[in-house]
Amino acid sequence: MSEMHDTLVDFVKVLRTADIKVSPAETLDAMQTLDIVGFEDRQFLKNSLSLVLSKNPEEKEAFEDCFDRYFTFDKFKPSESGEDSDSANDDHFDEDGDFDADSNQQSQQGGKGSGMGGGQGGGSEETEEMEALSPSSELGKLLLEGSRTDVMVQMAEAGREVEVNQIVVFTQKGLYTRKIMDAMGLKGLQEEIGELQDEGGRPQNQLAGRLKKARDQLREAVRDYVEKQFMLHADESGKQLREELLRKVKLSNLEKRNFKDVQEIVIKMAKKLIAIHSKRRKTFKRGQLDVRKTLRNNMQYDGALFDIKWKSQKVDRPKVMCICDVSGSVSNYSRFLLMFLYSLSEILPKVRSFAFSSDLGEVTRLFDQNNLEDAMAKTMRDYGNGSTDYGQMLEDFRRHCMKDVDSKTTIIILGDARNNYGNPKAEILREMYDKAQRVIWLNPEPKSSWTVGDAEMKKYAPCCHQTEVCNSLTHLERVVTNLLRVAR
């Protein structure tokens, strides 16, 4: 029963990687369900676990897919006799062609050698000589004398021992196949085959041939097992690895085929930030004592401090004005910053977005009324052509938007500050600095390039509350997190 529970725990891990939320209490309920319904009826077990572990149509669909893939072969050892056992073996072992038909027939007949490498039946003299020899290695005995179920159970145990569920990339398939074979006793089997061949007798050679055939069949079965484990576990592990890489890679290096993946990552980041910052008030259970509230609430107790009150903070949702350079060199950075901010609409409801190459234009309504790709295409069409002119952008902002800037406004400017040697008009940025709560400049270039060529960061940086290198999703998340954290 303990082995069945271990297998069930592994299955719950698969469900969690498939975005099915399974709590520890639900896992215990699933164990009790397993104890009650048993494992003889696969469909009954599937339906029962589905009731306990999946809660909505989406989760039930994902559960069925995970169950069908995870229980490709019988993870639990069934009874050694009866139709259910035969049926289980037929369903889970023979359909993939891992074992030959002769071996399958001998298994069903229940004779010796019913394992993976069963030889030819019959009463010939050769057979009698062969029966006088039996394998000495543990793996050899398992393959020639054990049942198919014994072999598969041993394989599953070896897979758990070498942690095959940690497989990440497909190229590890051979590595884990070898590890499982070694854990099952491949070394002892190889030594036995070598000794039999060295002895050179006909019975020895025949037994060695049967062992080699069984070994090769086992290797194919283990490869299939590892591949199925890869499909179960590495999909999510590989996805996590890919997400981690996409978080760190420069956004300018992304290809168009990666945009969908990055968009999913941005939405996931945004949901995490929404969960953290959605509450505008928080009552602390420790920290700085609120003396007034404490005394007022304890007057009824004659001054005895039974009800301690701590100071709480009110978090105001910031009013954000985002100005993005959408010229060719930085358009991808702008794309994902805008995507990030609009994904935070629940806690950043006052985002106004502007785009420019030279002339500044507001694109807030454009992004509200169109999907991201269409909005970006229209933004690039309307504002992405032309020579970059930060001075003109600042002049347009002062003319049309400066009146809307107040002490609660955070201005985010994303651009490389390369002005083609034009007038930077840093004095306008100083006016924005004086009126706004904060001015944050995000530059996708490394700091070593901020003063090279036509870059004007040396003039713009003193007029900003914060300047940051920002060229990856990790940087964007950090900036937005800080924006939300300090907005009080």
Tell me the mean pLDDT in the region 379-391. Answer: 82
Per-residue confidence (pLDDT) for residue 400, from 0 to 100 = 92
Rounded Cα gap, residues 115 and 89, in angstroms: 12
**Res. 476: pLDDT tops 60:** yes
Whether residue 433 lies inside any domain: the answer is yes
SS3 category, 335: helix
Instruction: Please indicate, yes or no, if residue 165 is contained in any of the structural domains.
Output: yes
Tell me: pLDDT of 399 over 60.
yes
What gap in Å lies between CA 180 and CA 154, rounded to an integer?
A: 10
Q: How many CB atoms lie within 10 A of CB 342?
A: 19
Q: Which of 115, 117, 138 is nearest to 188 (CA)?
A: 138
Each residue's pLDDT tens digit, 320-338: 898 988 887 677 777 777 7
Helices (H), ranges, 253-362:
259-277, 291-297, 331-343
- Angle made by CA atoms 178, 183, 184, in degrees to the nearest 5: 100
Cα of first residue to Cα of last residue in the chain, in angstroms, is 55
Q: What is the mean pLDDT of residues 271-276?
A: 70
Q: What is the torsional sign of CA 385, 387, 388, 389?
A: negative
Whether 175 and 206 share a structural domain: yes
CATH code where residue 387 lies: 3.40.50.410
Among 152-156, 161-165, 369-373, 411-415, the least confident range: 369-373
pLDDT in the model for residue 77: 37
Residue 348 is inside which H or E element, if any? Answer: none
Please give the DSSP secondary-structure letter assigned to residue 371: -
194 assigned to some structural domain: yes
Phi, psi of 215 (to 5 degrees): -60, -45
Pair 359, 219 in one domain:
no
What values do phi and psi take at 79, rounded to 5? Answer: -65, 150
Rounded Cα gap, residues 15 and 54, in angstroms:
9
Q: Please tell me the least confidently modeled range out of 270-284, 353-367, 400-414.
A: 270-284
Is 260 contained in some domain? no
- CA distances from residue 379 to 251, 256, 366, 368, 390 in whole angstroms, order as listed: 18, 17, 8, 13, 17
pLDDT higher than 70, residue 383: yes
Q: Which two tokens stand for residue 202?
A: 């006909």
pLDDT of residue 306: 65
Query: Average pLDDT for residues 243-264, to the nearest whole number?
Result: 73
At 277 the pLDDT is 60
Lowest pLDDT segment from 80-84, 308-312, 313-317: 80-84
> How many domains, the chain?
4
Distances (CA, A) of 385 to 75, 303, 323: 61, 71, 16
Same domain, 421 and 474: yes
Where a domain ends, among 207, 240, 273?
240
Sequence length of the chain is 488
pLDDT of residue 74: 43
Is the model's pLDDT at 101 over the cut of 70? no
The kind and range of the H/E element at 40 are none
- Whether 355 and 420 share a structural domain: yes
- What pLDDT was estimated at residue 226? 86
Q: Is 322 a domain residue?
A: yes
* Arithmetic mean of pLDDT, 6-27: 80
Distance between CA atoms of 358 and 374, rounded to whole angstroms? 21
φ/ψ (deg, to 5) at 102: -60, -45
Residues 132 and 148 in one domain: yes
**Structural domain includes residue 45:** yes
Range of weakest confidence among 129-143, 158-172, 310-324: 310-324
Q: The domain containing residue 15 runs over which residues?
A: 2-70
- Note the pLDDT of residue 98: 39
Alpha carbon distance 86, 83 (integer Å):
5
**Both 472 and 427 in a single domain?**
yes
Query: Is position 48 within any domain?
Result: yes
The DSSP bridge pattern shows strands 351-356 and 360-362 to be: antiparallel
Q: Is residue 254 part of a domain?
A: no
CA dist., res. 201 & res. 300, Å (int): 101
Residue 38: how many CA atoms within 13 Å on its side-chain side?
6
User: Domain end: 184, 212, 240, which one?
Assistant: 240
What residues form DSSP beta bridges with 412?
322, 440
Same-domain pairing of 402 and 469: yes
The reported pLDDT for the residue numbered 105 is 37
Rounded Cα distance, 138 and 451, in Å: 71
Q: In this predicted structure, what is the pLDDT of residue 423? A: 92
For 32, 199, 261, the CA distances from 249, given in Å and listed in that order, are 46, 60, 13
Residues 24 and 158 occupy one common structural domain = no
| Together in a domain, 230 and 148 | yes
**Domain end: 37, 70, 103, which one?**
70
State pLDDT tens for residues 104-147: 334 434 444 445 554 444 445 555 555 567 888 899 888 888 88
Mean pLDDT of 460-475: 89
3-state helix, strand, coil in the chain (%, to 5): 60, 10, 30
Are 219 and 122 in a shared domain? Answer: yes
Cα distances (angstroms) measured from residue 292 to each of 210, 297, 299, 310, 488: 88, 9, 11, 10, 21
DSSP letters of 395-427? HHHHHHTGGG--TTEEEEEES--B-TT----HH
Give the residue with greater pLDDT, 394 vs 96: 394
15 & 128 share domain: no
Task: Give yes or no: residues 413 and 454 share one domain.
Answer: yes
